[in-house]
Structure 1
Amino acid sequence: MEYNQTVYKWWVQKMKESKVRIIAIKIENLKNVRQGDIQIPVHDEDSQASITAIFGQNGSGKTTVINALDILKTLISGNPLSESCRYLINMDAGKAKLTFEFTLEDPERRGKARAVYSFGLEILPGIDGESYLAVVDETLKAAVEAPNLSLRMQEILKTGKSSTLSPASKVKVLLNGVDPTDRIVEQKLAEKESRSFLFSPWMHNLFVHYGIAGDSRKASANTDSWMVQLILRLQNYGRRELFVISTRHSSVLSLGFLPLSFRVRNSEGEYFGSSLLKIDDSFSLPKELVEVHKKIIDELNFVLAEIVPGLELSIKVLDTHLDEEGTTIHKAQLVSLKNGKQLPLQYESEGIRKLITVLQLLICVYNQASVTVAIDELDAGIFEYLLGELVTLLQTHGKGQLIFTCHNLRPLETLSKVSNVFTTVNPERRYIRMKNIKEDNNVRKVYYRDIIVQDQEEVLYDSANTASLALAFRKAGKDIE
């Protein structure tokens, strides 16, 4: 027991700088996915990057994975879900459940922690007669692994009906001195606001105080404080290191805006988050943020010049003024430079603009081990050969984690077979990895073959009857004739 306490105390110090990876995703009753499990291989130390590509026909659950990760990011960051998330719940089931498993590895590779976070999404009736989306049945479990020692998975915290919180032994330690009435009120408020209670701002503030005041608590808190650090580490991961790019970004592009998600450092510190810059007009930003975006663009230009020879981006400052608070505001415009000639970015192709929106995050995946980037339809607007080159480079030399959906099958010819996940037509088993794939197989050709001969455990494609399709086209065009 003494050695166990030593391990726990050691993890308190290492948790803050540990590398976080998602290693499993389980989806139940989200959109058209009744049941779907994706296991993400844990690579050895010679292969740092983790790439997962999801392929399949339209409407088979690819985007649902990105939706699930977007929900995860929102909740562990302490933010409320948007009202539109209620429409992601399968209408027949009435309640969805999501489960995510993580590994947290210390920088010296001396040990790992594993964590499992699960929660439900349910529409509940409100007192005022209006229903609301609630995050229910949250459960966080974790275990610590160290050389010659693997401690069992234990339940850290679990929410229940009537604002209960268990297990009692953990609640007594982690919420020591907290008025139970205050906790119940905050728990009900989190439910009403469609946010996580375990990762709520209230819990965050409590745990930050716990870290400061830990020495004044009883001795057992010193060994249990690793649980506090685990929750804070996952929250930090959601806020600063997990990025989700949905198809909404492409929609925003068509409306004349450039959505940028980023994580950069400059002499002033670290900046992370997202911004929305006008493409077809000028925009105003504080001087500090203009400098941050110049740093982002400088990083982009290193890679962009290799992808599109002769192309560079720039922020052109058009005017400077002070606002009512005395802050320096720059009026600026995004421009592209080709062979020394300046052109507003709005006149570049949508493919180049799409590439710009994801490129800074791909740079993060290449360089930062604890960054996870999830992108829906990574291939949209990107030349297929270039797509294959990018994902191969990230898998071979990258450090972070990339999860993406794709219609283009080029990555099947370049990625390791363990990186590929395929959707099926079975809503009870939406995701599989193809079996009987040899090292020298062209996975793209095997996939095409299995679509036709249906040689896997599940049907991969609901083949259209050509004759019936032709008849449908003819009927649809009858009035036109």
Structure 2
Amino acid sequence: MIRLTRIELDGVKNIRHGAIDLYKPDRNGDGRTADEVSSVTGIYGQNGSGKTSVIEAIQVLRLLMVGEGLKGERAGILVNRAGGAGSYASLHAEIQVDDTLAVYTVVLEACGTGLHVVRETLAVRPDGDRRRILVDYRMARDEETGLLTPTVSPTGAWNSLTALQHADDLLRQEAALAYSQNRSLLFSKEFSTQFTRISGRLHAQDALPAARRTALDRTLDPLLDVIRRLARFADNGIRVVTTRQGASVCFGYTPFIHGGRFDILDIGRPCFVPAAIRREIEQMVEQANLVLPVVIPGLKLECEMKEDVDEAGEAGARVFLYSSRGGVRIPFWAESEGIRRIVGILSLLVRMFNETDTCIAIDEIDSGIFEVLLGDILRVLAQRGRGQLVFTAHNLRVLEVLDHKSIVFSTADPDNRFVQFANVRAGNNLRDMYIRSVSLDAENTRLAQKVKTAHVAVALSRAGRVAGGRDE
């Protein structure tokens, strides 16, 4: 079992500090073990209070653990709004890996091309044991030469390991390359390859000095195992839908996942897809037709495919989607935004429901979806699912159907961005409690900046006079 249990952000956009513990009940009372019970966490709060930053942080976490660089479009998502080049953000994640808690912390520096990884720490805390740092790596700039050099601790263990097979030189080279490419050193393929080779050579030796044996058994081997597990989890299990991907629905596209990444499928016209992903589209339609008629009675998805080749001569198919209900078939692009949105995320929700080692993160999950339907779907996922779901939303219906421990609220305090309600009793309506707290603007919660309706009316009136050229 592997599961994200905590995420902590510092210096991320307008979040000076914020931490969220992702809720997971011990068991659901239906015979399943704790490892088989779903984890559902919803994040609520006013616009601009940091909800989306949590989803984007999970996306950055995934990119780092699969060894991809934080450049271009990916680069700005964690930068503090008050800073530019030279500003820093840190991301701290705790991930339960079987009986061991893996603790990964990364510090990112904004630069002209993206985000540099300037520090990474990976520690473990086995059940019943103390936290143990496996590696703490940072890029340090020499004040005299201006050159960046990596420093790695625990010093004794890593000095013992890097003294072999020119490992110190290889580590420096890979650290410099990872820094220049805006990616992780610890999760780079070259790092794992080189130190896996060193581990194999050390294990092949009959006698090792005590310090080196300890470094191998207590540092290197556990590190390589955790890195492999986390990289596999990120590649196969973590999937993120951001508002950018969700917004594509409005423009005649639907999010489509294949090969571990998101793409968009043009649903406004027959579009060409490579032969390699044809089966995945067929599977998407098959899954949709098992679930759609249940949540939206009578609705089915139809897919027409015609063999074709692209401009380069590569084989594939032209795909066009239709929706069918009551004997009437219409192009899928003509369907409502809510239905297109549901189809776009449906395959991810199916995975979350059935697979334990899956973490699905969706920003604005309620966009365009009927609130009663959304509440019913999330209740089923929370009560019967096996994986993990993290979402943001504005629709308050969900507060009435999920356990209060599944709900996190963003606040107006940048130093403490995320809180949960305490002392919620059986029978309390979390939705009413939240609305009351926001309306009262209580100092102990500060869930949102209070908006005065009189001020809104004055502002709207003044704006109208500007539009009419009558502002004084």
Shared fold by TM > 0.5?
Answer: yes
Unaligned runs of 5+ in 2: 29-33, 141-148
Is 2:39 the partner of 1:50?
yes
Alignment-derived partner of residue 181 in structure 1: 169
Give, in whole Å, the separation in 1 of the partners of 2:202 and 2:381.
41
Q: Is the 8 A contact 1:78 1:200 kept in 2?
A: yes
Give, in whole Å, the separation in 1 of the partners of 2:307 and 2:257.
25
Structure 1 length normalisation: TM-score? 0.85
Is 2:287 the partner of 1:305?
no
Q: Is the 8 A contact 1:174 1:228 kept in 2?
A: no
Displacement, 1:477?
1.1
| Alignment map for 1:261-410 (pairs within 5 Å) | 261=257, 272-321=260-309, 328-410=315-397
> What is the aligned counterpart of 1:65 among 54, 60, 83?
54
| Alignment map for 1:251-266 (pairs within 5 Å) | 251-261=247-257
Displacement, 1:191?
1.1
Secondary structure of the 2:47 match is coil
Unaligned runs of 5+ in 1: 1-18, 106-111, 125-129, 263-270
Q: Is the 8 A contact 1:156 1:170 kept in 2?
A: no
> What is the aligned counterpart of 2:136 among 136, 145, 158?
158
Secondary structure of the 1:332 match is strand
2:290 maps to a residue whose letter is F
Alignment-derived partner of residue 171 in structure 1: 158
Q: How many aligned positions are there?
A: 439
Alignment-derived partner of residue 120 in structure 2: 138
Displacement, 1:131?
6.3
Secondary structure of the 1:387 match is helix
Alignment-derived partner of residue 26 in structure 1: 8
> What is the aligned counterpart of 1:117 among 104, 114, 139?
104
- Distance 1:206-1:305 versus aligned 2 partners, 3 A rule: farther
Q: Is the 8 A contact 2:272 2:310 kept in 1?
A: no
Q: Is the 8 A contact 1:434 1:456 kept in 2?
A: no
1:157 maps to a residue whose letter is V
Alignment-derived partner of residue 144 in structure 2: none
Is 2:445 the partner of 1:445?
no
Is 2:230 the partner of 1:230?
no
Displacement, 1:253?
2.0
Tell me the C-alpha RMSD between the 2 structures.
Answer: 2.3
Give, in whole Å, the separation in 1 of the partners of 2:467 and 2:205.
79
1:86 maps to a residue whose letter is G
- Distance 1:286-1:87 versus aligned 2 partners, 3 A rule: closer
1:391 maps to a residue whose letter is L
Q: Is the 8 A contact 2:23 2:41 kept in 1?
A: no
Structure 2 length normalisation: TM-score? 0.87
Identity value in percent: 30
Displacement, 1:210?
6.1
- Distance 1:209-1:312 versus aligned 2 partners, 3 A rule: farther
2:227 maps to a residue whose letter is I
Give, in whole Å, the separation in 2 of the partners of 1:190 and 1:115.
22
Compare 84-93 and 406-415 and name the one that shifted more: 84-93
Residues 26-82 of structure 1, C-alpha deviation per residue, up to 9 Å, x if partnerless? 111111111101122343144511110011111111111111111111111110113
Alignment-derived partner of residue 475 in structure 1: 462
Displacement, 1:91?
3.9
Q: Is the 8 A contact 2:161 2:167 kept in 1?
A: no
Alignment-derived partner of residue 10 in structure 1: none
